């Protein structure tokens, strides 16, 4: 069964760090682009980052550039999102999603999400 | 303010046809393919349409996507109560060098 499962969310103070994980199963991670998308409470979807299938490119939404890093461990079929210098506005449900293709063409497999709350 | 503009709400009665619009620009819809997502209350988004008009396996043919110039539309025919959800359009934006979502449209089945 093709699926992705996120973990690593929690409550963290402003300025601290958190690393999210996304375990993929039923498909080969290195054959798809992979995304992180977030949704703040009561708000719409916001794309956060993408990694090309071969890891050659990583793209980020402007608001997280320099603070967040997307990475992947193919041997463990796991995608990561390292989040540093967290801010209150980063509070959201974070979804991991598989791209239908190699780069960024649409997200066809979504996880259930993991909640990140940034608060003092 | 979202880069892609959608109406905040839409409604229809069972059996009706409803259309949701998505307006963008030359840097996103005008030069890249459009995707549509459905998000039922309390659940993760689901891909409805990719590459402007392609339905993934399992998506009913009641859902139809189209693109013209810098705008796109999602049409839902034979509206059903289970279609009540939030719908989002999305596309790659060459200027922002990233993916962008519309603000979402809340569809109510009356």
- For residue range A23-46, what is the model confidence (pLDDT) as tens digits? 999 999 989 999 999 999 999 999
Closest listed residue to residue B48, CA positions, set B22, B9, B30, B14: B22
In this complex, is the C-beta atom of A63 within 8 Å of any C-beta atom belonging to chain B?
no
Cα→Cα distances B51→A6, A85, B31, B59, Å: 26, 36, 12, 14
What is the rounded average pLDDT of the residues B82-91? 97
Q: Is A4 in CB contact (< 8 Å) with chain B?
A: no
Q: Does A46 touch chain B (CB under 8 A)?
A: yes
Cα gap B10→B69, rounded to integer Å: 23
Closest CA–CA distance from residue B77 to any residue of chain A (Å):
22
Going by their DSSP bridges, the two strands B71-76 and B85-93 should be labelled as: unpaired
Cβ of A76: how many Cβ atoms within 10 Å? 12
Q: What is the reported pLDDT for A115?
A: 98
The mean predicted confidence, pLDDT, of chain B is 96
Distance from CA of B80 to the nearest CA of A (A): 23
Give the three-state DSSP class for A76: helix
The pLDDT, as a whole number, for residue B80 is 97
8 Å CB contact of B45 and A45 = yes
Other CB atoms within a 10 A radius of the CB of residue A72 amount to 19
Residues of chain A with pLDDT under 70: none
Is B98 close to A108, i.e. CB distance below 8 A?
no
Dist. CA A82–CA A76, nearest whole Å: 17
* Chosen from A44, A46, A59, A68 to mutate, greatest number of chain B CBs within 10 A: A44
Pick from A50, A105, A110: which is nearest to B45 by CB? A110
Phi-psi region at A106: left, alpha or beta (left = phi > 0; alpha = psi -120 to 50): left
d(CA A20, CA A71): 10
The CA distance from A80 to the nearest CA of chain B, in Å, is 18
pLDDT in tens, B20-72: 999 999 999 999 999 999 999 999 999 999 999 999 999 999 999 999 999 99
């Amino acid at each position: 069964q093709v699926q992705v499962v996120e973990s690593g969310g929690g409550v963290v103070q402003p300025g601290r760090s958190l690393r999210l994980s996304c375990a993929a199963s039923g498909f080969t991670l290195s054959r798809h682009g992979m995304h992180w998308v977030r949704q703040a409470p009561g708000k719409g979807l916001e794309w956060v980052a993408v990694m090309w299938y071969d890891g050659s490119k990583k793209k980020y939404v402007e608001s997280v550039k320099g603070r967040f890093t997307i990475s992947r461990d193919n041997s463990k079929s796991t995608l990561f999102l390292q989040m540093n210098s967290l801010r209150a506005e980063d509070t959201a449900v974070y979804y991991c999603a598989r791209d239908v293709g190699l780069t960024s063409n649409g997200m066809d497999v979504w996880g259930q999400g993991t909640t990140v709350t940034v608060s003092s | 303010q979202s880069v892609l503009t959608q109406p905040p709400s839409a409604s229809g009665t069972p059996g009706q046809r409803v259309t949701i619009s998505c307006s963008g620009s030359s840097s996103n819809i005008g030069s890249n393919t459009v995707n549509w997502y459905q998000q039922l209350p309390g659940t993760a988004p689901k891909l409805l349409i990719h590459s402007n008009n392609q339905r993934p396996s399992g998506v009913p043919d009641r859902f139809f996507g189209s693109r013209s110039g810098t705008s796109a539309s999602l049409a839902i025919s034979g509206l059903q109560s289970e279609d009540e959800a939030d719908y989002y359009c999305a596309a790659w934006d060459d200027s922002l060098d990233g993916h962008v979502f519309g603000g979402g449209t809340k569809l109510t089945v009356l």
